[in-house]
A and B are shown apart, each in its own frame.
Chain A
């Protein structure tokens, strides 16, 4: 590098060449010896070593991998996964609806509704969902008959099927959390938005629907996605109320076939597949609601792959070796 610069002013015609070169080519990049990150190499090696040890342990364990493969798509298991999905979706839908109602009650100027909503949230967030499930399951012990005058009357044990216990237990618990998420979302919208909307002659209700909620959704959606993914996993607790979801159906196979751990692996695989699929869905949903909050949307992973492939093929050569 130094040679080049020393030589150019020496000859008179070379000077001209130098000028035109400077005008057309980019400045020469800095060439420095990179810092050696010894620590990174060491820690990387340690972690890989531990992973190999873990892999070796599993290969030596008394695991019938055959059983995992055989039972992965067993009809009982698939049906169990289907029920996990069903109860999670239904509980979430019910939870969201109830949660929005509770959030609006909580924010209302009516002290009675606001206080009742607070009480609900206090109880359902303050007690474990497992306990709540058992409360629903054992409801018949204190109310043997469900009697809503003139409307409905039946034995409590007939009403509180495992499905109903699971649905009520999960949904009512979820509603308390969703209420707080919705409330935070609504409150996150700048007051100037409400004022601007009112100043245009929009009523409170219209302001809420057209201006506040669409902006609140951006804040509400990401945690709601997390809540749903949590719900997929929490739904395994309804094992306790004898609802035949994924964990219960795999465990039953496990206890009869003595492949306990193998069946837990099967359940884990199903759970991780379901949560992964919904995580991807959530990513795109969040993108959809980010409209207007960013100057330009970040690329999706797929777009990023495309761009990096494109930049790979026309990467300028000779940047470093000049």
Chain B
């Protein structure tokens, strides 16, 4: 039996009095494209952010590739990881944000080169060569010297994907990667993601793009109000939802 890439058992998360995640159990297999869908406020983005410890969970267990996120377990005691250890865990987990979050004071290629140089101590020439390859892969070889403000949203998001890939992660998290884009720019970003999926990258995608989920997804989870309502193969869930809540949501977005 292979270790799941991500395993969540009874994950809870609250922000003050707001109980956002109310016991999430799920498993993501390696090389799987795992789609998280649901209405806004359902906790899907929060769950995604827990996976790389941008948010700290309050209860349950969450592990990536067999390793607890943010904690070390000794016997039955949990020890919080130090800042540097958390950072080390995040090296292998790429994340793409809804608002791109490119570093505005760096050019496209500098954005892609930054983490390998700063985190892995990679030589500049090596990092540059890989960054050029990655920018070429996302179709932006000619934009490498542009600053983020000089790029369209779709271009920025593709640079952001290249930046995450530069760390050669084993898992990629996508937090509504196309929600902030003009409709005509969505396709380019989804094409890049489709290519990644074909190459066997493990991906967890929070999305409202049901078409993408159906075509590319291997598994789909419908979340509402902090719990998993329904899960299964995207084709089954999207075409034949069992739960009323899923049905009413899908009738609005499809």
A interface, CB within 8 angstroms of B:
190, 192-193, 195-204, 206, 210-211, 214-215, 218, 291-295
Contacts and interface: CB of A to CB of B under 8 A. Distances in A.
A295 B149 contact: yes
The A interface, classified by DSSP as helix, strand, loop or mixed, is helix
A293 B149 contact: yes
B106 A195 contact: no
B54 interface: yes
Interface in B50-87: 52, 54, 83-84, 87
Contacts of A292: 104-106, 147-149
Contacts of A203: 83-84, 87
Q: Which of A197, A203, A291, A293 has the most CB of B within 10 A?
A: A203
Contacts of A214: 105
B101 A196 contact: yes
B218 interface: no
Contacts of A193: 101, 103
Contacts of B103: 193, 196-197, 211, 215
Contact of B114 (A200, A215, A291): A200
Contacts of A210: 114, 118
Interface size class of B (residues with CB under 8 A): 20 to 34
A204 B90 CA distance: 13
A202 B105 contact: no
Q: Which of B99, B118, B148, B160 has the most CB of A within 10 A?
A: B118
B123 interface: no
A202 B115 contact: yes
A161 to B, nearest CB: 43
B163 A200 contact: yes
A294 B52 CA distance: 32
A199 B119 contact: no
Query: 6 closest pairs, A vs B, by CB?
Result: A196-B101, A201-B91, A200-B115, A199-B95, A192-B101, A292-B147
Nearest to A211: B103
Contacts of A206: 118-119
Given A211-B103, A291-B147, A293-B104, A201 B97 contact: no
Nearest to A201: B91
B150 interface: yes
Contacts of A192: 97, 99, 101
Nearest to A204: B83
B147 A201 contact: no
A215 B105 contact: yes
B104 A215 contact: yes
Contacts of A200: 90-91, 114-115, 119, 163-164, 167
Contacts of B118: 202, 206, 210
A202 B119 contact: yes
